[in-house]
Amino acid sequence: MKKVKIGVVGCGNISDIYLTNCQTFQNLEVVAVSDLDLNKAAEKALKYNIRKVLSVQELLADPEIDLVINLTIPRAHADVCLQALEAGKHVYVEKPLSTTLNDGNKILEKAEEKGLMIGAAPDTFLGGGIQTCKKLIQDGAIGKPIAATAFMMKHGPESWHPDPEFFYQDGAGPMFDMGPYYINVLIQLIGPVRRVTGSTQISVPERTITSKPKYGKKIEVNTPTHVTGILDFENGAIGTIITSFDVWGSKTPYIEIYGTEGTLSVPDPNTFGGPVMIRKPGEADWEEVGLTHGFIENSRGLGVADMAEAIHSGRPLRASGKQAYHVLEVMHGIYESSLNGMHYTMKSTFEQAAPLPENGIEELENDKVKTFEGGTNNE
């Protein structure tokens, strides 16, 4: 199979796992890296044996490149996506799709106009943990989903991220940074959202960095750090989500889906594996369910491999820009509802991605074949 040739823009913290994993997918080849700081790009090129270190403009003008992976910081996502689409490249962007709904719309429209694909992180929902949950729900293991809870309760990344200021500016905060993992999984398992309600606050206006090299530096907080949302799904289920950078400890679960015939305990949506647990009526305890699907290690880039396959075959991609836009609108809706003191009615919807095929995954994992087949996107 012809490999999809990739240029990576943004060589920061998250780029290592992409550059590592892209080398393991036989339908991908990273040919160039770029960053505003070319030293960072050069360092990654050396580490991962990548042929070209280019400025962003050179990379976008390079005819060898089919697809750009955009790993820049959130407020640069839209600019880089739009420029890359304009230059005729397919784009896969880290979460969130963009910081504003207006920019998200522009990205979807530009991709449509140019006949190009726009894919977006997170792709953790393609991992064995969430794919197993999807199959259990489809097989009726908990009956009809009627409600869900999702919690991301931590104390902020200034203790570990080397450059954490952006987490406290517009387009980040716990909801825009971590919410995409949780909302993406909720909509994959339950379906589109029709209405949201929210309450948000900045609990502490200034934070202190305790990671290196910026130890001791103060951060002015300009975006909510405790965000609570209620999600009314189109199918009638009601979800509750809390994302917080203000909590020192919590015993809340990651995600639970409550059905008419049982409860599903969903694994950490920021990972690809399990455990998946189920609690049936009358049972005294939880039962752990064996994973039915592969990709249980950190497989970031799986969404790009799936997209490369979609580019070749013409089938829909799974980690799609439309899905990421729906997630973005849920997050904005929670903020808007909090600001206006009213429910926010969703304008967008999306089609749930087809489940990953079990045998196809095994084949790709074992590197025995160069491709894996999709399935349809119409369930």
Interface positions with ligand NAD (CB under 6 A): 9-14, 35-37, 40, 56, 71-74, 76, 80, 94-95, 163, 177
- Shortest CA distance to 265 belongs to which of 231, 235, 243, 289? 289
CB-nearer residue toward ligand NAD: 33 or 116: 33
Written as six digits, the tokens of 140 are 């009726």
Smallest separation (angstroms) from ligand NAD to the CB of 14: 4
Nearest residue (CB) to ligand NAD, 259 versus 269: 269
Nearest approach in angstroms of CB 215 to ligand NAD is 17
End-to-end Cα spacing for the chain: 28
Least CB distance to ligand NAD at residue 266 (A): 19
- Considering the complex, state which of residue 42 and residue 202 has its C-beta at the smaller distance from ligand NAD: 42
- Report phi then psi at 136, rounded to 5: -60, -45
Quick check: helix, strand or coil at residue 168? Answer: helix
- Judge whether 240 and 197 are in contact, CB under 8 Å: no
The answer to whether the beta carbons of residues 272 and 127 sit under 8 Å apart is yes
| CB contact set of 87 (below 8 Å; sequence gap of 6+) | 60, 61
Q: Which ranges of the chain does DSSP label H, i.e. alpha helix?
A: 15-22, 38-48, 56-61, 74-86, 101-114, 128-138, 173-189, 302-313, 321-340, 358-365
- Rounded to a whole number of angstroms, the minimum distance from the CB of residue 171 to ligand NAD is 9
Give min distance, CB of 51 to ligand NAD, in A: 19
Return d(Cα 14, Cα 29) in angstroms, integer: 18
Residues in the chain: 379
Comparison of 106 and 279: residue with beta carbon closer to ligand NAD: 106
CB of 212 to ligand NAD, least distance (A): 14
Residue nearest to ligand NAD (CB): 12
- Nearer to ligand NAD by Cβ, of 220 and 287: the residue is 220
Structure tokens at 253: 């679960």
Nearer to ligand NAD, 213 or 341 (CB): 213
Q: Nearest distance from residue 77's CB to ligand NAD, in Å?
A: 6
Q: Nearer Cβ to ligand NAD, position 39 or 378?
A: 39
Burial class (CB in 10 A: 0-12, 13-18, 19+), 341: exposed
